[in-house]
Structure 1
Amino acid sequence: MEQKFKDALEGMWDKLDGWLNSFVASLPNIILAILVFVITIILSRYIKKLAYRLSNRTKLQESMKQLLSQIVSVIVILVGLFFVLGILNLSKALNTILAGAGVAGLAVGLALQGALANTYSGIILSYVKQIKFGDWIETNDYEGEVVDIDLRVTTIKQVDNNMVYIPNKLVVENPIKNYSTTAQSRVILECGVAYDSDLEFVRKLVKDTIVSNFEAVENNNEVLFLYREFGDSSINFETRFWINSTSALEVAKAKTEAMIKIKSAFDQNNINIPFPIRTLDIPKTIVKEFTQA
C-alpha cells in the first residue's frame, strides 16, 4: 500500500514537472500571444472610432453607423484571436471551436428567425433613401414622424404624440407612403352647393378665397376646381391646391383653414351648402281622399 502511494506521488510529480517544462518552453509564445491580444484590443478600439468617423460621411441612420463600427471592431478582435491561437499552437482547438460555432449558429438562427428578419430589415431601412429620420410617413395603418430606426423596430411619433413601434419586417414588406419626399403637399377639399347657385360665380369665389389665404398659391390658375356630380341634394365639387409643407398635420390644418374661409365666403354671398333633403311626391287622388276623410 505504501509503495503504491509512493508510485502515485512520483507519477504526479513527473506530470507536474512535465507541465512546468512545457510551460517554460512555451513561455515566449505565451508572452507573444498576450502582447498580440493586447495590441488587438487597442487596435479594435481605434478602428471602431475610425469606422464611425468614416460612416458619418454617409447618409446612414445613427443606429447603422454604430452597428457597422461595432462589426468592424468585432472582426478585428476575431482576427487577433486566430493569431493568438496560432501562436499557442492550438490549431486543433481552433478547428473544434469553428465546428461548434457552426452548429450553434444554425441552432440560434432557427430559434431567432423572427428577430433576425427584423434585424435584416432594419439594415435595409437604414440604407434606403425613401425613409429617414424626421420623415412623415404612413405604413401599416399608422401615420407619423420617423424618430428612430434600430435593428428591431421603426419608431413613429403620431399626431397625438404617442409612439408606435413597428417591427422592421412589417415596414419593409408593406407599402410606405412618405409625405416628406417632396417640398409641397396637395390639399383636396370636397363640398357641395345648392342647385340654384351660380356655378361660374361659385368657382371664381372658391379660387379667389384660396388664393387670398394661402401664400403658396399665387394665382387662380394654380387652384384646380372640378364639379364632380349632381348629388341628391347638391351639386358637388372638388378643389385642389398646393401648400409649402410635407407634413400630413399641416395638410389637415390647411384643409381646416380652407373650409372656414370658403364657408365664410359662401355666407357673405348667400350661397347655400344644403343639407341632405328628400322631396315626397304624393298623388293628388291620395291627397283628395285624405282631405275629405
Structure 2
Amino acid sequence: MEMDALITYLQTTGASFAIDLVAALAIFVIGRWVTSVVHRLSIKAMERAKVEPLLVKFLGNILRTLLLIVVVLAAISQLGIQTTSLIAVLGAAGLAVGLALQGSLANFAAGVLVIIFRPYKIGDYVEAGGVAGTIDDVQIFTTELKTGDNRKIIVPNGQMMSGAITNYSSHDTRRVDLVASVGYDADIDVVRRVLEEVVAKDSRVLASPAPNIRMSAMLDSSVDWIVRPWVKASDYWDVYWEMTEEIKRRFDAEGISIPFPQRDVHVYHHDEQKGEQSGL
C-alpha cells in the first residue's frame, strides 16, 4: 500500500509540476514577446515625442532589461519558488557581485551622467576616452563609436566620461585654420590679395564671422600667413582640403614661391703662408 501511495503521489506531483513547468515556459515566451512589443512601442512613442535619440536608446535598453527581469520572476513564481526569498537572496548576491564589479557600476553611473548632461548625442563626432569617432549608440554600460574608416569601437562609459570630451559637432559652424607659407621674396600685398580672392571665391565660406587673413610669423625659411574662414560644420573638411589645393594653384599662377627648409653656408678661404721659419 505504501508503494501504491508513493506512486500515486509521484504521479500527482509530476503531473502538477509538468503543468507548472509548461505554464512557466509559456509565461517566459509570452513575456519576452510582450517585452519586445512594449519596447518597440515605447521607442516609437518617444520618437514621436521628439525625445533626444540618445535618451531614447538608453531608456529603451533599461526598460527592456527591467521587463525581462519581471518576466523571469513571474516564470519562477509559477514553478512554486518563493520569489520573496529569491529576491532577498538575489539582493545579497547582487551586493557581493556589485562590490566585485565596481567598474561596471561606474560605467552604468557614467551612462546616466551622459543622459543627464548630454556632452554628446547620436551622430556627433567626438574625441573622448582616448578614441575618436561618430557616436553610433549608447548602451547601459558602453558607448559605440564608428570611425571614419568604418570601424566600430566599443568604449566603457566610465572611460568616455573620465577625461576631456571634444565634441566637433556641438556647434553649427567651425573655423577652418590654414597656414600658408611663402618665401621672403614674396610681395606682401600680392600674397594678401591672392588669399583674400581664394576665400571670397568659395561660396561655402560664411560672411559672419568675417574671415581672418593675417601674416602670423617670420620663420627661418618662410613667412607664414594664417587663413581662417568660418564654414558650416558639415563643410569643414571639404573646405579645408579644397582651399589648401586652391591656394597652391594660385601661388603657382602668381609666381609666389613656397619655401622649403634651407641654410646658407658661407665658405671663407684663408691664404696660407708658406715658407720655412728659421730655427724650426
Q: What is the TM-score when the length of structure 1 is the normalising length?
A: 0.69
Runs of 4 or more consecutive aligned structure 1 residues displaced over 4 Å after TM superposition: 44-54, 74-81
Is the aligned partner of 1:174 residue 2:167?
A: no
Q: SS state of the match for residue 147, structure 1?
A: strand
Is the CA contact (8 Å cut-off) linking 1:63 and 1:151 kept in structure 2? no
Q: Which residue of 61, 64, 72 corresponds with 2:58?
A: 64
Between structure 1 and structure 2, the one with the greater Rg is: 1
Q: Give me the whole-angstrom Cα distance separating, in 2, the residues matched to 1:238 and 1:52.
A: 48
Task: Give the structure 2 partner of residue 123 of structure 1.
Answer: 112
**What is the letter of the counterpart of residue 69 of structure 1?**
L
TM-superposition CA deviations, 1:116-141 (whole Å, max 9, x none): 32233233334443311111112234
TM-superposition CA deviations, 1:16-67 (whole Å, max 9, x none): 99xx9xx9xxxxxxxxxx9xxx8xx69x758666654554332253432322
Give the aligned length.
255
TM-superposition CA deviations, 1:258-277 (whole Å, max 9, x none): 12111111111111111111
Return the offset for 1:79. Answer: 9.7
Q: In angstroms, what is the RMSD of aligned CA positions? A: 3.9
Task: Give the structure 1 partner of residue 271 of structure 2.
Answer: 289
Matches within 5 A, 1:78-93: none
Is the CA contact (8 Å cut-off) linking 1:190 and 1:237 kept in structure 2? yes
Task: Give the structure 2 partner of residue 28 of structure 1.
Answer: none
Is the CA contact (8 Å cut-off) linking 1:131 and 1:178 kept in structure 2? yes
Bigger proportion of residues as helix: 1
> Which ranges of structure 2 fall in alignment gaps of 5 or more residues?
14-22, 275-280
Moved more, 106-115 or 120-129: 120-129
Q: SS state of the match for residue 60, structure 2?
A: helix
Task: Rate the CA distance shift 1:141–1:75 in 2: closer, same or farther, 3 A.
Answer: closer
Is the CA contact (8 Å cut-off) linking 1:227 and 1:235 kept in structure 2? yes
Task: Give the structure 1 partner of residue 16 of structure 2.
Answer: none
Q: Give me the whole-angstrom Cα distance separating, in 2, the residues matched to 1:129 and 1:259.
A: 35
Q: Give me the whole-angstrom Cα distance separating, in 2, the residues matched to 1:206 and 1:244.
A: 20
Return the offset for 1:232. Answer: 0.2
Is the CA contact (8 Å cut-off) linking 2:199 and 2:205 kept in structure 1? no
Return the offset for 1:242. Answer: 1.4
Task: Give the structure 1 partner of residue 194 of structure 2.
Answer: 205
**What is the letter of the counterpart of residue 136 of structure 1?**
Y
Q: What is the TM-score when the length of structure 2 is the normalising length?
A: 0.72
> Which ranges of structure 1 fall in alignment gaps of 5 or more residues?
1-5, 24-33
TM-superposition CA deviations, 1:207-260 (whole Å, max 9, x none): 1111103433449x82201222211011112110112234xxx53332221121
Task: Give the structure 1 partner of residue 132 of structure 2.
Answer: 143
Q: Give me the whole-angstrom Cα distance separating, in 1, the residues matched to 2:169 and 2:177.
A: 17
**What is the letter of the counterpart of residue 202 of structure 2?**
N
**What is the letter of the counterpart of residue 67 of structure 2?**
S
Q: Give me the whole-angstrom Cα distance separating, in 1, the residues matched to 2:140 and 2:86.
A: 28
TM-superposition CA deviations, 1:72-128 (whole Å, max 9, x none): 5368669979xx89xx9x9xx566434323321111212322223223323333444
Task: Rate the CA distance shift 1:72–1:166 in 2: closer, same or farther, 3 A.
Answer: closer
Is the aligned partner of 1:101 residue 2:94?
A: no
Q: Give me the whole-angstrom Cα distance separating, in 2, the residues matched to 1:263 and 1:118.
A: 48
